[in-house]
């Protein structure tokens, strides 16, 4: 017995998700500020102790240089954390928009974001590939659901602002005699 669950049709409260993100953001910011303050205090205490000893001035200069380099490394890590946080917020919004336009008959089975070579232009571009299955009742045309899904996605500015129009890559039918028809599909969105 096989079945699939479309987790993306579950629509969590945006307010709830924003509260969680805000709490996480505050905790990350607090930890970063606490770490930087701790390093600054340690550098100050360390520097005071060394300057009292005149025979170790050269060693002190080397240690200060090491600490300065470590401070720069920590600063770059803080910048990376901010970038990760910003990207997480972007993808949260995109996945929420995707779930809003996904019809009940469509179940998304795979999504990946990777760099691909564009055959016509022979250059590399980031691409979001989306795969899924359309399950319909007897007599319904599954192709109308994929067309509607792609059209609704194309008309969703919060999702499409970073992507070109969706391109259908493949469609394959899985119809069994006397049963409802289903289609496997894949489409691709190139990053602008």
Interval 52-97: pLDDT, tens: 555 566 676 778 888 888 888 887 777 777 776 666 556 778 888 8
Alpha-carbon dihedral of residues 130, 91, 85, 17, nearest 10 degrees?
-130
- The pLDDT assigned to 27 comes to 76
191 secondary structure, DSSP code = B
What pLDDT sits at residue 65? 82
Who has greater pLDDT, 25 or 103? 103
69-80 confidence digits (pLDDT tens): 888 888 777 777
Say which DSSP state 43 is in.
H
Long-range contact pairs involving 43-47 (C-beta distance under 8 Å, separation at least 24): 43/67, 43/71
Cβ burial of 152 (10 Å; 0-12, 13-18, 19+) is middle
How many Å apart are CA 110 and CA 129, to the nearest integer?
A: 8
pLDDT score at 3: 46
Which residues, in sequence order, are bridge partners of residue 188?
129, 167
Using the predicted structure, report yes or no on whether residue 186 has a pLDDT greater than 90. yes
Q: Is 30 a residue whose pLDDT tops 90?
A: no
Inter-axis angle of helices 14-51 and 57-101, nearest 10: 180
Average pLDDT over residues 116-131: 81
User: What's residue 5's pLDDT?
Assistant: 47
Q: Is the pLDDT of residue 106 over 50?
A: yes
Percent of the chain with pLDDT over 70: 70
How far apart CA 170 and CA 179 sit, in angstroms, is 22
pLDDT at 15 over 80: no
Mean pLDDT score across all residues of the chain: 76
pLDDT at 119 over 80: no
DSSP code at position 4: -
DSSP conformation letters of 122-189: TEEEEEEEEEEEEE--TT--HHHHHHHHHHHHHT-HHHHTTBPPPEEEEEEE---TTS--EEEEEEEE
What does pTM read for this prediction?
Answer: 0.52
Residue 9 scores a pLDDT above 70: no
Token pair recorded at residue 52: 């009292």
pLDDT surpasses 80 at 107: yes
């Amino acid at each position: 017995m096989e079945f699939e669950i479309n987790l993306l049709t579950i629509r969590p409260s945006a307010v709830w998700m924003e509260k969680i993100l805000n709490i996480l953001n505050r905790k990350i910011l607090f930890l970063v500020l606490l770490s930087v303050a701790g390093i600054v205090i340690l550098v100050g205490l360390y520097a005071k102790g060394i300057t009292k000893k005149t025979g170790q001035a050269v060693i002190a200069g080397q240690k200060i240089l090491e600490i300065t380099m470590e401070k720069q490394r920590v600063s770059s890590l803080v910048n990376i954390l901010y970038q990760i946080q910003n990207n997480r917020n972007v993808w949260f919004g995109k996945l929420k928009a995707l779930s809003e336009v996904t019809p009940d008959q469509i179940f998304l089975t795979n999504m990946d974001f990777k760099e691909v070579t564009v055959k016509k232009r022979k250059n590399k571009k980031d691409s979001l590939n989306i795969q899924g299955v359309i399950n319909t009742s007897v007599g319904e045309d599954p192709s109308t659901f994929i067309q509607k899904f792609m059209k609704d996605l194309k008309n969703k500015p919060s999702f499409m602002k970073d992507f070109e129009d969706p391109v259908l890559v493949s469609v394959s039918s899985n119809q069994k005699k006397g049963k409802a028809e289903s289609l496997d599909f894949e489409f691709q969105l190139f990053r602008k």
